[in-house]
Structure 1
Amino acid sequence: MMVRFLFLLLLNVLAFDFSKAQNGVDSKLTLAPVFSDHMVLQRNKPVKIYGKAASGSNVTVQFLDQTMRAKADQSGKWDVVFPAAKEGGPYVISVAANDQKINVNDVLIGDVWLCSGQSNMDFALRDAQTGPDELQAGPLDPDMRLLKMAGAVSTGDVAWDSASLEKVNRYEFFSGKWKSPDKASVASFSAIAYYFGKQIKKETNVPIGLIQVALGGSPTESWIDRALLEKDPQFAGMLGDWSHSDLVMDWCRERAAKNITNARSKDQKHPYQPGYSFQAGIAPLTGFPITGVIWYQGESNVFNVPLHEQLFTMLVKSWREKWNDTFPFYYVQLSSIERPYWPEFRDSQRRLLTKIPNSGMAVSFDFGDSLNVHPTRKKEVGERLALLALRDHYQKSVMANGPVPEKATLKNGAIRIQFLNKKTTLDHNKALPKQKLLTKNNAPLTGFELVTESGKRLVANARIEGDEVIIHVPAGERIRTVLYAYQPFTRANLYNEAGLPASTFSIAVK
């Protein structure tokens, strides 16, 4: 009896200590992970500050010489909303509840851009062609702040241990803190995002915050709210048994299988799983106002072009709904490489511009590598994304895209391709000069093909004539379509005077 009594007493003590520890965790005052020293808050939008505290406790927040108060709800959540503010700083956010206090120091107000996608967005500055020189160039801009939400576990060709498997199952995958720019923080940050932010800062002189949430190999569907995918019957197979679904790229499924080799749970989760990266990386940010998104992803969806079109339009629409903001969404067209389906995918990305409002696409095939899916020329790609933002969001008078085909007509044995004249100025009443069509170093024009009515593809002899491209039609051939830059790896060379290339495209002949 004495042994039983002591055993029960020990259990009660342990239970009391666990309950006390648990209550201590629940009552701790915290801010959402996106709040930390050196952060940037979005200008010209209400400033929402939020976190957790003991249920029912009163929370006081001081910011910009104003004080806001809130009461934590039953789950401990609280938030306050300050009026929109102009760019500036540095400031301090002070938060207090009960006897606890948190100060967030060196806070700037400016523009915050979310930088997401897979490995080419995750590609670090130190590994870019211009990275070493950039890191040695001199002082870094103190008003450009970086938040890298890094993956807690590598999705490389490794098997995870039990601790990693459990962490992934708890959705504790992405984490990071805001940092001021120094050689270490900049070197490991996304090269494309860095060069994008640097160009925006240079042209606007507004503090820039960059939030990197990217994961190598991740498919589009992993970045979409699972609840949305569940509403569409065509994605049922993808969700029910995603590791065996042919709607998910086989490489993603194979890599996930390797990572979770040691899993004991049949319901082991993985960041490539439909909905996972959204829940772990994006959902925690949707209460945090941003300017817009830059995106580089698609390599893990290139095998099914029609499916990607549905997924990508769903992603953009749903993210905007989650933020309740039709923010700009600028994405990178896939590069060129000797792999099947890539031309069709690039052309599909071009067509999506007409389906997704307030979007833009940076062409990158001219910086491609025939064998390497990770081309190292990231500076130019980041700056092309910045041109889109500068023209369409910041309303700067810049040229932001290369020649865009408008129509192809057959006359007297030749096809004439005319090109659109995109806006380059805010003054819509001002007549715009037509873009000049040219090739680098005046080299012969290359990259055009003709598709006959029987489906045969012919290399085209094309030339620039004024503001049109002229293609001679071989005798006896009836042409249905003109293709441009439609080889998986291409050095097609149609540009404009701003040095911006025409996209991969297909156009019907009228």
Structure 2
Amino acid sequence: MSPRAVLLARFAAAIVVFSAHSASAAPGGTPELLSSLFANHMVLQRDTPIRLWGRAAPGAKVRVTLSRSAASTRADSHGNWTTALAPLSAGGPYRLEVESGGIHQTVEDVLIGDLWLCSGQSNMAMPVSETLGGASAITASRDSGLRLLKIERRVAAMPETRLAQPVRWQEAAPETSSDFAAACYFFGRKLRQARDVPVGLVSAAWGGTTVDAWRPQDALRATQDRLDELPLLEHYSRDPASAQKMWAERWQNWWRIAQNGTGPSDPWAPGSPPEMRWQRADIAMDWSQWHPGVDGANRLVFFRSTFDLPPADAKQVRKLTFGPVRFVDLAWINGQFIASTSDETRIRSYRVPDQAVTAGRNSVVIAVRSLTEGGGFASNAVLPTLTLADGRSLPLGRSWEVLAAPATLARSPLPPWDARGGISGPYNAMIAPLGKMSMAGVVWYQGEAETLPDRAPRYQDRLASLIAAWRKQFDDTELPFLIVQLPEYRLPSAVPGPSHWATVREAQRRIAGSMRNVLIVPAMGLGEANDIHPANKADLGVRLAAAVNLLATRKGAGPIHMPMSIGPSLTRIWHTQEGVRMRFSSDGPLRALSADMLTGFETCDVGGTHCRFVVGAVDAGDVILKGVHSPRIRYGWADHPIINLTDDTAIPAIGFDEVIAQ
């Protein structure tokens, strides 16, 4: 099929009906014909059909114009319409106009260029202002051809068809770039320098999120993941209070089973069994500051306070208010579950059921589950307070009893609607509303949350299903994905051993080796041993932009035998009489940095249980491990590997774990 025929086929395929978008009104009360995504100062994707959609009167004719391109369609019986304009080359600014039934809507200052979606967790969300060289980058950031859209953090139980917050596309400038995702911004800045076409960047990231948070429910079903949580999430979309009670019952049962009879009984129940060692602490302080402090991430702590009420007041208690807390809480009064929240930014305001409070002595217990170092009540938190029907408030003070759960019970379950450890919430609220927007590709920087024993082995399947699901949503089976491979972290190890960080990197590598238009962008060499959020995002942006050029060379080719990474990547490994020989794709000749030998290689038994370090050498364009005849070879297999194989890019070769075919 000729290139023109392919383009025409894509154009025809673009004109399809998809999810209806709710009707809304533009400022001033005029109904919006276009989806709110289409706003002033936006960038639309060049050289591909421009999909547009919105709302109009049922059956009404809709006419759309942009530059020299125009299209007409009719709204369906529900008032939803969709169409596509013929592809345009890079340029602008243009005016996008829509007319239907005497109603006109205009979107001003529209550019045609490259549109990229940047998503992931905290290393993607990290703003320019917190990076190495960020201050000078912000000062020099003014560029009318670089447009930014930051999607605010939000979760939803079911896929939504429009963004909850007003859409504000903004030109890059000191006042807009400071708080924008740094890796995404530096990537876009380099693209602008290299290509001189308009660039639009959409940032949709949330710190601490797992890959499951960004996968639609159908993708979870396809990989048979968390099937017991899906019905509860769907129930939550219809009846949040009822779903919370169901989840609280599951949580309480988890606690009882997890103890296996060795720990205290229900800490939320009234009374104080002898085996419970409650201590007194100031809840206004981060719990790491207590004496003795609660250290480490992923901790679970119970807070308890008792209070006395006369019969008249006991009948009037209506509300329990407190927070925010970091990050997830469950609250009980006299052992009765009240409510739960999994948002560290929200003040809790829980309705107290009738008869939950009795005359005389009562107890309030709040369990708080942290997801990072430190936790408990935020520094600006409202201390727990009961509100009575007559308007009076009963403060419960700041000196409470506390009980830290054993470290073995710290990773308590999270509700399926939790933003970080739940399922589909950020996807439903932040990605699904993007509809079938045409774009150049996706930059994905996520994986730190997967470096756990129960998650790392499944990351390859889960990330592959995310890529497939997003490509399905955006109606582009070859939508490019640039995957930032995790950098080094923690201190180097003197001996070989297991590494969940390396397992996640290997999952990323194998996806790039098996899926079209997926490319690894190594962050190795940019990491910091003592900080999971490395500050050098500028060099990462340069690497990401270089990956776009490499993707262009791969276009139309299969994943096998093609580079899967910028910098060297393994393409073949085999036994010879001399030892193990490896071939790498590379930009220029392979070489060792700072030594005449290559470090970071391991020779292992076939099961990968017993490994030892070996040195390698560059030999006739390959890498050879002389005298090695073992069945399995690893490279860079550690949280913080010491590796020195590179090429003319000076980017480290990506690690691998390969069993050699016999």
TM-score (norm 1): 0.79
The aligned runs of 1:189-200 (5 Å cut-off) are 189-200=180-191
The aligned runs of 1:2-41 (5 Å cut-off) are 28-41=31-44
Q: Which residue of structure 1 aligns with residue 118 of structure 2?
A: 115
Q: Deviations over 1:320-349 (max 9, x none)?
A: 122221221111111121395111211221
Q: Distance in 1 between matches of 2:434 and 2:447?
A: 22
Q: Aligned with 1:200: secondary structure?
A: helix
Q: Distance in 2 between matches of 1:169 and 1:67?
A: 29
Pairing partner for 1:61 from 50, 60, 64: 64
1:448 matched to 2:601: yes
When residues 43 and 79 of structure 1 are mapped into structure 2, their CA distance, relative to the original with a 3 A threshold, is same
Q: Which residue of structure 2 aligns with residue 331 of structure 1?
A: 483
Q: Which residue of structure 2 aligns with residue 201 of structure 1?
A: 192
**Mean alpha-carbon deviation: is it higher for 355-364 or for 171-180?**
171-180
Residue 529 of structure 2 aligns with an amino acid whose one-letter code is S
CA shift, 1:91, in A, is: 0.5
1:436 matched to 2:436: no
Q: Which residue of structure 2 aligns with residue 43 of structure 1?
A: 46
The aligned runs of 1:32-431 (5 Å cut-off) are 32-65=35-68, 67-98=70-101, 100-136=103-139, 138=140, 140-151=142-153, 176-240=167-231, 255-257=327-329, 259=342, 262=348, 269-272=417-420, 273-303=422-452, 304-325=455-476, 326-338=478-490, 340-393=499-552, 401-410=566-575, 415-421=579-585
Q: Aligned with 2:212: secondary structure?
A: helix
Q: Which has the higher helix share?
A: 1
Q: Aligned with 1:209: secondary structure?
A: strand
Q: Aligned with 1:375: secondary structure?
A: coil
Pairing partner for 1:468 from 608, 622, 625: 622
Residue 446 of structure 1 aligns with an amino acid whose one-letter code is T
Q: Distance in 2 between matches of 1:310 and 1:174?
A: 32
CA shift, 1:286, in A, is: 2.7
CA contact (8 A) 1:149 1:211 kept: yes
Residue 217 of structure 1 aligns with an amino acid whose one-letter code is G
Q: Distance in 1 between matches of 2:163 and 2:191?
A: 32
Q: Aligned with 1:270: secondary structure?
A: coil
CA contact (8 A) 1:223 1:276 kept: yes
When residues 371 and 49 of structure 1 are mapped into structure 2, their CA distance, relative to the original with a 3 A threshold, is same
CA contact (8 A) 2:223 2:465 kept: no
Q: Which residue of structure 1 aligns with residue 287 of structure 2?
A: none
1:507 matched to 2:658: yes
Q: Aligned with 1:114: secondary structure?
A: strand
Q: Distance in 2 between matches of 1:482 and 1:169?
A: 46
Q: Which has the higher strand share?
A: 2
CA contact (8 A) 1:110 1:206 kept: yes
CA contact (8 A) 1:167 1:173 kept: no
CA shift, 1:363, in A, is: 0.9
Q: Deviations over 1:46-102 (max 9, x none)?
A: 222222244455544332255544444343322332221111110111234455433
Q: Deviations over 1:169-205 (max 9, x none)?
A: 9996666411111112112111111222222222222
CA contact (8 A) 2:589 2:648 kept: yes
Q: Deviations over 1:130-181 (max 9, x none)?
A: 3222223x4633211111112159xxxxxxxxxxx99999996666411111
Structure 2: tracts of 5 or more residues without a match: 1-22, 234-246, 255-296, 301-325, 330-340, 352-413, 492-498, 556-562
Q: Which residue of structure 1 aligns with residue 337 of structure 2?
A: none
Q: Distance in 2 between matches of 1:399 and 1:458?
A: 27
Residue 570 of structure 2 aligns with an amino acid whose one-letter code is P
Q: Distance in 1 between matches of 2:472 and 2:158?
A: 29
When residues 296 and 376 of structure 1 are mapped into structure 2, their CA distance, relative to the original with a 3 A threshold, is same
Q: Distance in 2 between matches of 1:66 and 1:23?
A: 26
Percent of pairs identical after alignment? 26
TM-score (norm 2): 0.62
CA contact (8 A) 1:416 1:468 kept: no
Q: Distance in 1 between matches of 2:619 and 2:104?
A: 70
When residues 152 and 140 of structure 1 are mapped into structure 2, their CA distance, relative to the original with a 3 A threshold, is same
CA shift, 1:437, in A, is: 2.0
Q: Distance in 1 between matches of 2:190 and 2:128?
A: 15
CA contact (8 A) 2:147 2:172 kept: yes
CA contact (8 A) 1:366 1:490 kept: no
CA shift, 1:406, in A, is: 3.8
When residues 187 and 463 of structure 1 are mapped into structure 2, their CA distance, relative to the original with a 3 A threshold, is same
Q: Aligned with 2:106: secondary structure?
A: strand
Residue 448 of structure 1 aligns with an amino acid whose one-letter code is F
CA contact (8 A) 1:151 1:175 kept: no
Q: Aligned with 1:351: secondary structure?
A: helix
CA contact (8 A) 2:565 2:654 kept: no
Q: Aligned with 2:599: secondary structure?
A: coil
CA contact (8 A) 1:401 1:501 kept: no
Q: Distance in 1 between matches of 2:51 and 2:163?
A: 23
CA shift, 1:44, in A, is: 1.6
